[in-house]
Structures are given as structure tokens and as C-alpha cells.
Structure 1
């Protein structure tokens, strides 16, 4: 079980890094909307956020809701909910909310994922 969780955490970490790389030229949410390239980047970011949300759901299920609750600094339920919105209501994606997630949640998520990986690795 620990190996599966570590694998999912590593994949989340990699997805976050890809998001940060691909959005390095995005300075406001409007940058997503004002050009075809911006829309292309937004689409790619949304795909990564879907993966992150699904992976978080899997980790929460595998651990019977006992792991993520220990890290309240990350809005886990919001990440899972964002995944659901992107998947089921794609036409309602709010570029400003996605930009806010990139600015405020992804860096915090990366730091927390690193912390969890370190703790789990020491137990394995």
C-alpha cells in the first residue's frame, strides 16, 4: 500500500511541476483567454488538474481517509471537487479560479507532497 501511495504522490508532484513549467508565462488569468496559445495552456493545465484530483481521491480511498486529514494546509476536498467540475462541467471552467489554484494551491501542494513522501519513505 505504501508503495502505491508513494507512486501516486510522485505522479502528483510531477504533474505540479509540469503545470508550473507550462504556465511560467501566464501572469494573469486573462493570459489564458486572450490567445489560442493561452487556451491551449489552460486545456493542458485542466488535464493535469484532473489527474491530480483523481490521484488525491485514490490516495484518500486507499488510506481510508486517514492520511490527507493530517495535512489541512492543502484544500484536498477543493482539489477533488475541482477535478469533478472540470470533468463534468467543462464548459463552466473559470480561468480565474484555475489561475488562483496555480498561484495559491500548487506551490503549497508541492511542499506538502514532499513532506508526506519523506515521512512515508522513512516508514517503508
Structure 2
């Protein structure tokens, strides 16, 4: 068995980061909103940092729960979410704004909702 309080704390941090991404991404309507201005690039950078934090936290969550918890929630592609951290961290200067836009548009909401469900079920 794993430390339930630690797992809940990690999940709350993931949820908060995902919600922050959603809030910061809200005014972005197209990829060029990221790439065509210094303010857009700052927004892209801040979102990338949160994606790195989420990926790292998911890896820690997997380690803490002996890879038992995430597999119970297949609606999220956890491998890709964790892999995003590696891609951004190790290839930062080649980060593709289109990919980040796609993640923010199509996947962050589902991640936040799933993590919230997990928190509710574990509490």
C-alpha cells in the first residue's frame, strides 16, 4: 500500500498546474498567439514549465503507487503525459508550439477532470 496523503498532495499539485494551464491558455486562439509576440512566447514558456512539472509529478505518482493508480484511469494517455516532460526538458529549443497548442486544446481538460475524479475517489 502507498502513502495516501502523499498521493493526494501530488494529485492536488497536478490538478492545480492543469487548471493554471487552462487559465493561461484561455486567450490563446491559434498557434501564432504563442509565436508572434514576446508576451505569447512568455505564455508558451510558462505553460511548458507547468507541463514539465505535471510530467514529473506523474512520474512520482507512478513511483509512489508502484504503477498501480494511473492504470485504473485509462481515459488519459499517461505515458504521453509523462513523456511530454522529457521532450520539453531535453529538447526545449525544438519545442513545437503546435504540439503545445494541441495538448492545451485537446488534453489538459481531460487530465484535470480525471485527476479531480481520482482525488475525490481517494479522499
Equivalent-residue separation in structure 1 for 2:72 and 2:49 (angstroms):
27
What's the offset of the Cα at 1:30? 1.8
Partner of 2:62: 60
Partner of 2:99: 97
- The TM-score, its normalising length taken from structure 1, stands at 0.95
What's the offset of the Cα at 1:16? 1.0
Equivalent-residue separation in structure 2 for 1:78 and 1:28 (angstroms):
22
* Greater length-normalized contact order (CA 8 Å, ≥ 6 residues apart): 2
Partner of 1:29: 31
What's the offset of the Cα at 1:51? 0.4
Question: SS in structure 2 opposite 1:42?
Answer: helix
Q: Does 1:2 align with 2:4?
A: yes
Partner of 1:86: 88
Aligned-residue Cα RMSD (Å) equals 0.7
Unaligned runs of 5+ residues in structure 2 are none
Unaligned runs of 5+ residues in structure 1 are none
What's the offset of the Cα at 1:88? 0.7
Question: SS in structure 2 opposite 1:26?
Answer: coil
Find runs of 4+ consecutive structure 1 residues off by over 2 angstroms. none
- The TM-score, its normalising length taken from structure 2, stands at 0.96
What's the offset of the Cα at 1:20? 1.2
- The 5-angstrom pairing of residues 30-49 of structure 1 reads 30-49=32-51
